[in-house]
Amino acid sequence: MPRALVATFPRIRVRSWGPALLLGSVLASASGCGAGRSEAPSVPVRIPDEPLRVAVADATREVVILHTNDFHSALDPIAAYWLPGEPRLGGAAALAGYVNRYRESDSTVFLFDAGDMFTGMVSNRTEGEALMEMMRLMRYDAFGIGNHEFDYGSTSFERQMNRVEYPVLGANIFHKGTRHRYSRPWVIIERDGIRVGVIGIIGEDARSVALPSGITELDFEDPATAIAPIVAELRPQVDLVVVLAHQGKTGPQQTDAEAHPDLQRDFDEDIRLAGAVPGIDVLVGGHAHRGIEEPYVHPETGTLIVQTYGYGTRLGVLRLRLRAGRVVGHEGRLVPTWTDSVAPDPAVADLVARYEARVAPELGPPVVTLRRRLYRSYNTESPLGNLVADGMRAWTGAQIAFENAGGLRADLPEGPITRGHLLEVLPFLNTLDTYRMTGAQILEVLEQSLTLERGMMQVSGIRVAYDLTRPRGGRVVEVSVGNEPLQADTEYVVATNSFLGQGGDLYAAFLRGKQLSTGPRLDVVMGQYLARVGPAGLEPPRPFVPTRMVPVGSGG
């Protein structure tokens, strides 16, 4: 088959996208995809005066939408230790290999991502460049902006957007105090006579957990308000309308989350958006890491909602049957990306090797050798969370330490641990800061943590008995610091990371505390702490039993 053609877009800041521009929009057009190819196309498309439409009134056409979300720089395979034999899942080259399979077997294939490609060691060292290049090689058709795309600041990501040819979409993102768009809001893609309008949005929760300093120059509009007029204008021009929606509750940061149904987030924001804006055929979700094994069909609008667990462990596959510009049938599933059951894409494998080689000299020798995996847990106390919080408190001499569960992005595996492993666990380059906070402010942090909206706070120096069956705001049963009860009017020295200190994850209590110090980066502190404590002091009891955040009563 001929190689896909992608329009070369002007690298300018988009300031206005009114109806006139919709009618004359730039198209990304293709006549098929080369089997097994990974090189990026760069042939500009000549746009005809009248959009080319294929007569499908009496014919049924099949379209395949491949979708990913929340890849989070999972360039290497993940050992599925929760499955017998610990098979490997994902990795960029394997994910690309599965995409190649579908492009070889199906004629009209689109590939979309719903945001959060960034985070992780290689992403940090390249400010996301490695991931943008990976998407270029995999020939993504469109990329919706997620909160982690702002990890290095909005200016940095704007540079990354402007260096790639595929469309990066955010219809509700504006430059501060203006109506000037930060990115393209939408794009029309034409392939084999099928025209697809694609829109990107980012939701309220996703914005609230973005690095606060990364979005100071941006404003965000309500997603439904932003896209309703766009959908209305696009609908008569296209066969399909697809929304890439990075919204909903924050996804659980736990390696085996897909094996725990109780950890799966709802996707209510996606359902509300699909109901509020008629005319959307497919909504590809992200941010919640909610694996929707079969497409959810909105009962009123018929919008199909899909999402994967993230990290490239599944490839979303949605088959649509179209007739006269309408979806008349569908089937969808999440395909496990078994690493050793597919031919890896050689170009993507080479890219990963090159970027990892670039950062390898910075990793240094092992700082310690672990006898057992130290795992994280999103909604409970965990061995890894305890380790990090203990290291924070030991370094600062604080009475209490807090580390948000969402800040722990990987487990520490058994065996030699290098600085690279620590950068995978703590990729956000946060500093270790101290604050003076009252007991009342600390209690506020604990009660907010026990809503589990963003996971359970990982702690050191404090013991909390809690009951989740109690109403929100009253779930703390008992708190002690050292051997003394927490006193509301007493001030305590608290260590935490700079993300929480800036009010990240909506923890406003830290903003009301008095900052005492700004320390070194947390990953650096943890490297020194691991080396000092040694393997014997890092082995948690077996079985692991919570002793700091302790469930009691009927909620225990």
Coil, strand or helix at 358: helix
The pair of structure tokens assigned to 344 is 């890896």
Residue 11, in any domain of the structure: no
Residue 273 forms part of a structural domain: yes
Beta bridge partners of 7: none
- Is 14 inside a domain boundary? no
The answer to whether the Cα torsion of 125, 129, 132, 138 is positive or negative is negative
Residues 295-299: contacts with CB under 8 Å, at least 24 apart: 295/330, 295/332, 296/267, 296/271, 298/271, 298/274
Of 328, 355, 382, the residue that ends a domain is 355
- Tally the C-alpha atoms within 13 A of residue 289's C-alpha that lie toward its C-beta: 27
- Whether 386 and 337 map to the same domain: the answer is no
Q: pLDDT tens digits for the chain (556 residues)? A: 333 333 333 332 333 344 334 433 444 444 333 333 333 333 233 333 333 333 434 589 999 999 999 999 999 999 998 999 999 999 999 999 999 999 999 989 999 999 999 998 899 999 999 999 999 999 999 999 999 999 999 999 999 999 999 999 999 999 999 999 999 999 999 999 999 999 999 998 888 888 888 999 999 999 999 999 999 999 999 999 999 999 998 888 888 788 888 888 889 999 999 999 999 999 999 999 999 999 999 999 999 999 999 999 999 999 999 998 899 999 999 999 999 999 999 999 999 999 999 998 888 889 999 988 899 999 999 999 999 999 999 999 999 999 999 999 999 999 999 999 999 999 999 999 999 999 999 999 999 999 999 999 999 999 999 999 999 999 999 999 999 999 999 999 999 999 999 999 999 999 999 999 999 999 999 999 999 998 877 877 788 999 999 999 765 5
| Last-in-domain residue among 305, 320, 355 | 355
Tell me, yes or no, whether 249 and 389 share the same domain.
no
Task: Give the residue among 168, 139, 43, 124 at the shortest CA–CA distance from 348.
Answer: 139
Domain contains 8: no
CATH number at residue 434: 3.90.780.10
User: Are 331 and 399 members of one domain?
Assistant: no
Answer yes or no: is 67 within a domain.
Answer: yes
pTM of the complete model: 0.82
**Do 291 and 240 belong to one domain?**
yes
Domain match, 153 and 174 both: yes
Which among 298, 328, 355 is the end of a domain? 355
- CATH for 80: 3.60.21.10
Q: Which residue has the tokens 């610091």?
A: 481
Does the residue 473 lie in any domain?
yes
Does any domain span residue 499? Answer: yes
Clarify whether residues 299 and 189 are in a common domain. Answer: yes
Based on the domain organization, do 422 and 549 belong to the same domain? yes
210 and 82 fall within a common domain: yes
Range of the domain at 437: 367-555
**Shared domain check, 394 and 341:** no
Count of the separate structural domains present in the chain: 2
Same structural domain for residues 113 and 194? yes
Say yes or no: 258 and 400 in one domain. Answer: no
Residues 345 and 381 in one domain: no
Asked, for residue 520, whether it belongs to a domain, the answer is yes
